[in-house]
Amino acid sequence: MRPTVICFSGLDPSGGAGLQADIEAIGQSGAHAAIACTALTIQNSQQVFGFEATSKELLLAQANAVVGDLPIKCVKSGMLGTTDNIAALAEFLAQHPEYLYVLDPVLVANSGGSLGNQETLVKAFAQLIPFATVITPNTVELRALTGENDLDLATQKLFAMGAKAVLVKGGHEDTPEYIRNALYIQNELVSETRCPRLDGEYHGSGCSLASFIAGRLALGDDLKVAVHHSETWLFGVLKNAESPVTNGQKIPKRF
């Protein structure tokens, strides 16, 4: 059986982000996706109306049901929704030091809607940071996680908090022509990419990128190669993204 990534993330009814993005991206990476659902959200391509989080017990029961059954190599987390779910994931990771782990520190939806209480989530994420093979914040999340506005200082602070590698995604920065992503391993810049900025807003681009990275890591790529593959794949997927009838955020076409 294909190496498996277990995704701790939420369901997005629009199919652009969350679990569906994870499943499709991991499938496209060549790995298999398993699921531990953290929350059911109510949203479309334009806005989040609310969500109901899974209990800590239910979340762990889902994950534990497939441990030992599937060849899990990597954990990927996205929306966790509550501090209880973050604590549950930290417990799970402590029991499985053999798993690689991609931490996408989701705080809000790309449409701006709340996917949990920012302040408490930020504090709780600190427990997950030391487990992560790589953390994939956009610059808004990086600033929120560290309380630092300057991006170099914020990155350094994330390493001081126990990070091993960080992919800083520049999509929210004011660079109208391009998006700069930077990969740091042990606080050293190891690669930097600039891709042309595509028009419009996309729903689930961060989920897709982090999940593809997790899939490639599960298949044995080293981190730098996994990130490179994933960025190339994501660019194609966003170029082919489809516009909803309401003209909301575009839905990446991952097939």
Query: Applying CB under 6 A, which residues contact ligand PLP?
Result: 9-10, 12, 17-18, 41, 43, 78-79, 106, 109-110, 115, 203-207
Strands (E), the chain: 4-11, 32-43, 48-53, 72-77, 100-103, 134-135, 165-169, 178-185, 188-196
- Smaller CB separation from ligand PLP, 12 or 24: 12
Find the shortest distance in angstroms from Cβ 237 to ligand PLP. Answer: 12
Q: Can you give 158-204 as a three-state secondary structure string?
A: HHHCCCCEEEEECCCCCCCCEEEEEEEECCEEEEEEEEECCCCCECC
- Smaller CB separation from ligand PLP, 4 or 138: 138
Find the shortest distance in angstroms from Cβ 76 to ligand PLP. Answer: 11
SS3 call for 34: strand
Find the shortest distance in angstroms from Cβ 133 to ligand PLP. Answer: 19
Alpha-carbon distance of 198 to 51, in angstroms, equals 30
- Smaller CB separation from ligand PLP, 54 or 110: 110
Find the shortest distance in angstroms from Cβ 176 to ligand PLP. Answer: 20
- Smaller CB separation from ligand PLP, 17 or 103: 17
